[in-house]
Each structure stands twice: as C-alpha cells, then as structure tokens.
Amino acid sequence: MENTLPSDFTKKLAHILPENEHSSFLDSLQDPPITSIRYNFQKNVQVHQEKQSPVKWCKQGFYLSERPSFTEDPTFWAGSYYVQEASSMFLGKVIEHILPKKDICVLDLSAAPGGKSTHLISLISSGSLLVANEIIKNRADILEENLIRWGNSNYLITQTDSQVWGNLENFFDIIVVDAPCSGEGMFRKEPQAITEWSLDNVNLCASRQKRILADVLPALKAGGFLVYSTCTYNTQENEENLSWLTKNQALKSISIPFEKEWGIRETQHENIFAYRFFPHLLQGEGFFIACLQKLGNSLSNSKTKKNIFTPLPKKQIDILKNWISIPEKYQFYTYKNQIFLIQEHHSQLISQIATTAYIKHTSLQVGELKQNDFIPSHDLAMTSLVNQNIQRLELDYEQAMKYLRKQDFTIDTNLKGWCLMQYKGLNLGWAKILPNRINNYYPVHQRVRKQ
C-alpha cells in the first residue's frame, strides 16, 4: 500500500502525525476494512452475529467478526440496523453533548446514503424535525429508502443546493455538514480513492467546502451548532477551513468530552477543537469532526402564513383510525392526493421550507384513499404505528426473501385481505391475500435483485 500512495500525500503526513507513527499508520492501511453496524433499538432488534464487539463511542454500534451478505438478510430490509463505518458514529457523541432539552429543527446537509440521518433521528425528540438534504438524485433515492426503512415519522427529504438554504435565515438549531472531500480516510476501504487523489483535488475540495459553509451558515440560529465532518486527513480541508470560518463569522469552537482510551486524537488549531480518527489507533477508518456554536442574539424567523397541507375531513379520518394508532399531537393532512400524519407545528415548518427548498419526500405519508378503499403506504408499514387490529403474517426465511424479491410464493393461511408481512416480528411491508394468489405490495424500486 505504501508504494501505491501518492508521494504528495505521504509528504503531508508530517502535518497530521508524529514521525514515529508514520510507519504504523501506513501499515494499518494494508489491513482489511472493518465491518460495523448500528442497531435500530426502536425496533425488535435481532442480534446479527454471536461474535460482535461494541463500538466504544456508540452504544448502538457493534463490530462484526466477518462481513455477511446484508442483502440476503430480511432484518436489514426491515430497518433493524444500518451498516455504518464506526468512526463516523462519533457524531452521536457530539449531538448528545450539544442537544438541547427541547424540540428542535436539524439539517443534515449532505445526507446520503443515510448513516448520519438515521443516527440523528434516533437521538432527537419525536417533536423535533430532521431535514435530510441530498442534491444528487440517485443518492437522494437511496437516502429516502434508508430513512423509510428506519421507521420514524418526523423527517423530510430535500434536494437543494447549499446556497439556497441561506435564504431560510435563523431556522435550524443544528446543521450537520458532512462535506464532500478528497477521501483520504477511505484509502483502505475504497482503493479507488487513491487513484482519484491529487493536490489539485484537495485544493478544489477545500474551496468548495468553504463555499458550502458560508452558504449554509445564515440558516443557523444564533446559539445553534454547526457540526462539520470529513473523511479526510489533511488540515487544509479540516482545521484550516474552520479557522477561516471563525475568523470571518461569529463562531466559537466546542470541546467534546471523550475517553482517552478510545484512541481518538483531539487536536487544537488556532482555538479549534477537532477530533481525528486514525486506523492505526482505533478500529475505524479515517475521519474528522468538529463542532462550532454560532454567537449572537437569537432572532425569530419569519413564518409563512400559508400551510401547504389541508386537514383531512372527519369522515376519512374515521376510516384511517382502523389502520393507524395516532400518536399525541399528530393530525391527518392531505397534499397532492396523498395523506400525511404529521404534527401541526411540523406542517408549518415544512410549509416554510417548501418556499425555499425542493421537497422530495415527507414522512409520515400513510397512503391514499380511493373512494372508501385505503391503500396503505410502505412508509406506514415500516413504522410502529400500524393498528394492532391489522392482520400480520409471520414469514419464514425463504418466504421473506421471495417477498422482498417480489417473487411468487405460497403460504398456508386462513387470512384474507390486507396483511402486514413480518419476519422475526419485524415489519417488511404490505401484501393483499386473495383466494388464489398473494398480491405483493413491496415497492418495485426497492426489491432485492441479488439471487
């Protein structure tokens, strides 16, 4: 590995590591990548492997002794866990340290594929709102699938450039910027990152990161927190960018408590507290994270008077009550022929966001009514809000995989009509059981293609 690394990169090691660590760092890049997952404890979690060890800085995170075929595991498709690089799970420690004891609005600016978004939504209150943003369409599609699978009902997905968010002034309590970077921390996990690396690309990334930070900062409330992370090592894309930002904006760096035994390295650069992850010091890939707080007096943002959602008529609500256990403070609304179950203050926040950003998906979209026939959504199936009176059917492994592949399968049951398909007590999606066949309502674009 050492011989294949760009010489310009190895020369830069002096800026990030003591000389006596260069050899062990380079040796660590020859080790196989580590597989780790983060469990979704709001669901009926199944232990994935007998031999698993905890990620020290994330109570939901575990290392696996070997990498299985996740696509062939129905509990993965049920949202029981997320396959996530262990170093990036430290975001949870940062959020726990700064999280206010109130309902907040959070922006995950570059959210795909969804690791940080599913982590964030597990930490914030149910009354809080997560805005998961991804500008690239195919990545936004993956983000949508992962968030739906996770099963929460207090998020929306947007596809909007960073410069647009600045128009929504003083709106967010926390903004997470996992910035596009030169990917030095992925050299072990993704060898292609080595061939794509150059000093010119580092300069390009650093410049783009500055633009993103400057663009989005007006949307952060005074007193709010900006969490910045990359999967790269060089100081140009990390500490130097944040130092530049604090010199030009009213921000202060926040120190995050952690245990020294974890192997995380805290650095300080011109009053910037930063946390670095190196593969020769811990079980994880290269990662950088820091937190800044915006100074000044909090200003209220101007709220739009128009709510894009329309309350659902009582007659239709009565139909839906048979399907859905309605949480406190939630109400049914309609928008573009779809039915949503959301909190009233979220409907106002989403309406305001809609004046600025393109909204791709809002949860919880529960389905649609065709005359008096309700067609439940896959979103609803993945939550815990399905009424206990609704029929459920437990599938064995072969049946579950055929269901997820949208293949024909048979099952011996007396159940008829709409039914929630389950595997090991975890919801997979909807099916309609007819006298001579089963209509599979698993989303076509999400079907498992691997045989």
Read out DSSP for 235-300? STTTHHHHHHHHHHSSEEEE-----GGG--EEEEETTEEEEEE-TTTSSS--EEEEEEEE-S---P
Strand arrangement of the beta sheet that strand 81-83 belongs to: 52-55, 58-64, 36-39, 81-83
pTM confidence score: 0.95
Least confident of 73-77, 125-129, 357-361, 434-438: 434-438
Cis preceding-peptide flag for 364 (omega within 30 of 0): yes
The answer to whether 231 is a known catalytic residue is: yes
- The yes-or-no verdict on residue 50 having pLDDT over 90 is no
Query: 324: which DSSP letter?
Result: B
pLDDT value at residue 341: 97
- Sheet of 338-343: strands edge to edge? 310-311, 330-335, 338-343, 365-370, 373-376
CB 141 within 8 A of CB 167: no
Phi and psi at 93, nearest 5°, equal: -65, -40
At 243, which amino acid appears?
S
pLDDT tens for 159-215 read 999 999 999 999 999 999 999 999 999 999 888 899 999 999 999 999 999 999 999
3-state secondary structure of 218: helix
Measure the CA–CA gap between 222 and 142, rounded to whole angstroms: 32
Distance CA 88, CA 33 (A): 14
Cα–Cα dist 426/420, whole Å: 10
Q: Give the side-chain half-sphere CA count within 13 A for 411.
A: 27
Burial class (CB in 10 A: 0-12, 13-18, 19+), 100: middle
In angstroms, the CA 334 to CA 277 distance is 46
Under DSSP, the state recorded for 303 is P
Residue 20 has φ and ψ, to the nearest 5°, of -75, -5
Cα 82 from chain centre: 9
List pLDDT tens digits, range 259-284.
Answer: 999 999 999 888 899 999 999 999 99
Q: What domains, with CATH codes, occur in the chain?
A: 86-294 (3.40.50.150), 310-446 (3.10.450.720)
> Which pair of tokens denotes residue 384?
């815990």
Coil/strand/helix, residue 90: helix
Q: How far apart are CA 404 and CA 77, in angstroms?
A: 8
Q: Provide mean pLDDT across the span 242-259.
A: 96
What tokens appear for 176 in the block?
């997470």
Half-sphere exposure of 297 (CA within 13 A, CB side): 2
Which residue is listed with tokens 């992962």? 146
Q: Copy the structure tokens of residue 290.
A: 């820091």
Residue 24: in which H helix or E strand, if any? helix 22-28
Lowest mean pLDDT among 145-154, 285-294, 364-373, 381-390: 364-373
User: Other C-beta atoms within 10 Å of 49: how many?
Assistant: 14
pLDDT in tens, 292-351: 999 987 666 656 668 999 999 999 999 999 999 999 999 999 998 899 999 999 999 999
Tell me: the pLDDT tens digits for 4-19? Answer: 889 999 988 888 899 9
Model confidence band, residue 48 (pLDDT cutoffs 50, 70, 90): low
Annotated catalytic residue, options 58, 105, 205, 231: 231
Q: Distance from CA of residue 173 to its chain's centroid?
A: 17
